[in-house]
Structure 1
Amino acid sequence: MQLTLPVGTEPEADPAGGEPRVPFLVALGERVRTLRSRRGMTRKAVALAADVSERHLANLEYGAGNASILVLLQVARALQCSLAELLGDVSTSSPEWLLIRELLQGRDEGELRRARLKLTELFGSTGVDATGRQSRIALIGLRGAGKSTLGRRLAEALGYPFIELSREIEQFAGCSISEIHNLYGATAYRRYERRALEEAIQIYPEVVIATPGGLVSDSTNFNLLLQHCTTVWLKADPVDHMRRVAAQGDLRPMAASAEAMEDLKRILAGRSAFYSKADLTVDTSAQPLEDTFVRLRDGVYALLHRES
């Protein structure tokens, strides 16, 4: 059986004529050596502190040891660094990154948000017109939250065009969302999502956008959205999400409703922290549709007035 490894992890020939080495493991070994040198520790001292054999550590540093996560955690503790730093997370790739991490570590959500907004103000984004944020209204939330129904009504009330980003993604790809995932995978889907969002931002200074529920899962695309749009989280109870999806004609979740409901709750729990970054939250389960629309419209009017 042939083993297929992810890109960047294919074995490469060992110049000494030994077993092929995997680039990721070679880079990991180099980071271990660098961190050990930076700490002024001998290999023996690190091995002792990590409770691993010196030979095991030598293999790891050489890129020949495929250590377990627990061993890597022990080595990281011995080197007084995070596991992320040992594995080569980008935010540990230079002294400046490490100093920035140190400044932000331990800050609460409010402080981190202020820092993010300051960085956005300082650097902005490249290749996209940054004007008109307050007049681009992006609705976020899970499927079944009411983004399409309420979005169309909000656009009409504001006199703005309304677009569903999912339809724009399909136009870019020339196929349906499900076909994008099946044929090209999640990475390609996120690229199409970003292209569709960038184009919407460039074309429409005033617009209401219904976004895909999973957009917040991609930090690059979500940052772009937060930077260039006023965001509104349409929040709903999981039961309402499920009921509305079924009302749209998709009965697949009902085939295994108990399991589907648990999955939905987990997804909502995992994304809520990101959805809550929105400028405005409207609970679409708390009152009838008409009352929900009035709350949404009045809330958006208040945001537009505040930022104008």
Structure 2
Amino acid sequence: MIKTTFETERREDDKADDFLSALGANVRALRAQRGMTRKILARDSGVSERYLAKLETGQGNASMLVLRQIAEAMDTTLVDLVSVGEEFSAEMRELYSLGRRLSRDQLSAVIAGAQQHLVKSEDAAKGRRISLIGLRGAGKSTLGPLLAEMLGFGFIELNKVIETEFGASLDEIFALAGQPSFRRWERRCLTDIVTKQDEVVIATGGSIVVDEQTLSLLLSRTHVVWLQAKPEEHMARVIAQGDMRPMANSREAMADLKQILAARVPLYRRADANCDTSGKEVPESLQDLGQIVSGLLSGDMQ
């Protein structure tokens, strides 16, 4: 009996350790997606860097209040933060339960049917709007205006619209209001654009994909193209632009960039199409992008 109790407690301890490790990895991944250093997250959440470091390495047993502070600082929900393994929302749990009752063939058929339904319902809503996503240095600000000119569309740089509407620079917005406020302004400005304008090319900020509501709006109301490049090219282009956000004063800028890119790749992959600008001059990348967009628009008109 004593042995059984000891083994049960040990299993529970192992489960707790596994959960804390998964929780730490989740916090670290969410922070990387948002391009936030641990110092910035500590500042915005009011949780010390030392505590965050322990949490991210699976050594911190955080209270719910502390986790809520961290979630709010990253403009995400507590559910998203602690959802590791099979801990989904109620709706996701119901969907997961349904999926487990289906055979592989049935599940594939359900997924295909859902995707087809979504495509049909969203195609008309996309109009002739093109949005470009990707990490800084991918070519959005360079290729966007050229693509717009090629198509005879208007061009909008979303971050500049946000700065104009808010009345401050991006750095000032983040410093004064924090990331949650910026996300609200980003969503509000994008909603205004896709509601009132058509035949437009929109260059978005690199981190727009981390906000599920805004990304869903982008995917449902525009044809989304992910502009890709190798990490080294991203870095070289960013340096050429004189813009090192959010890696200013970092001795490991390339490592930070690679971590951010790796964390966002699953989100960028949700785009309708991708265009790799690695190792290409602007005219070649523009030609590739033009062909991709023509295909998206022609598909929209069929």
Classify the TM-score, shorter chain.
Answer: 0.5 to 0.7
The answer to whether residue 94 in structure 2 is matched with residue 99 in structure 1 is: yes
Tell me, in whole angstroms, the C-alpha distance in 2 between the residues paired with 1:84 and 1:254.
28
Equivalent residue number for residue 242 of structure 1: 235
Identity of matched residues, %: 40
Alignment: residue pair count: 230
1:199 paired to 2:192: yes
For 2:16, give the aligned amino acid: L
Distance 1:72 1:269, change over 3 A: closer
Indicate whether 1:296 and 2:289 are aligned: yes
AA of the residue aligned to 1:98: R
Distance of aligned partners of 1:246 and 1:111 in 2 relative to their CA distance in 1, 3 Å threshold: farther
Distance in 2 (CA, whole Å) between partners of 1:240 and 1:208 is 23
Residues of 2 paired with 1:265 and 1:48: CA distance? Answer: 44
Aligned residue type for 1:221: T
The one-letter code sitting in structure 2 at the alignment partner of 1:186 is Q
SS at match of 1:213: coil
Moved more, 247-256 or 187-196: 247-256
Which aligned runs of 4 or more in structure 1 are off by greater than 3 angstroms?
A: 47-50, 71-74, 83-89, 103-107, 110-124, 251-258
Q: Taking CA–CA contacts closer than 8 Å with sequence separation of 6 or more, which of the two structures ends up with the larger relative contact order?
A: 2
Report the alpha carbon displacement of residue 144 of structure 1 after superposing the two structures with TM: 0.8
What aligned pairs does 1:265-276 form with structure 2 within 5 A after superposition? 265-276=258-269
| Distance 1:286-1:183 versus aligned 2 partners, 3 A rule | same
Instruction: Check whether the contact 1:132–1:205 (CA below 8 A) recurs between aligned residues.
Output: no
* Gapped regions of structure 1 (runs ≥ 5): 1-46, 53-66, 75-82, 125-129
2:175 maps to 1:217: no
- Counterparts of 1:1-308 in structure 2, within 5 Å, are 51=9, 70=16, 84=83, 91-92=89-90, 97-104=92-99, 114=112, 117=115, 120=118, 131-250=124-243, 259-308=252-301
Which position in structure 2 is the counterpart of 1:5?
none
- Quote how far apart the aligned CAs of 1:120 are: 4.6
CA distance in 2, matches of 1:281, 1:266: 20
Equivalence for 1:29: none
Are the equivalent residues in 2 in contact too, given 1:104–1:112 (CA < 8 A)?
Answer: no
TM-score normalized by the length of structure 2: 0.65
Query: Letter of the aligned partner of 1:139 in structure 2?
Result: L
CA distance in 1, matches of 2:147, 2:134: 16
- Which residue matches 1:15? none
Q: 1:165 touches 1:196 (CA, 8 Å); kept in 2?
A: yes
Distance 1:87-1:111 versus aligned 2 partners, 3 A rule: closer
- Structure 2 distance, partners of 1:220, 1:49, is 45
Decide which structure has the larger Cα Rg and report it: 1
Residues 179-238 of structure 1: per-residue CA shift (max 9 Å, x gap):
111111111111001001101101112210000000111111111100111010110111
Query: CA, structure 1 residues 174+298, in 2 after alignment: closer, same or farther (shift >3 Å)?
Result: same
Distance 2:224 2:293 in 1: 9
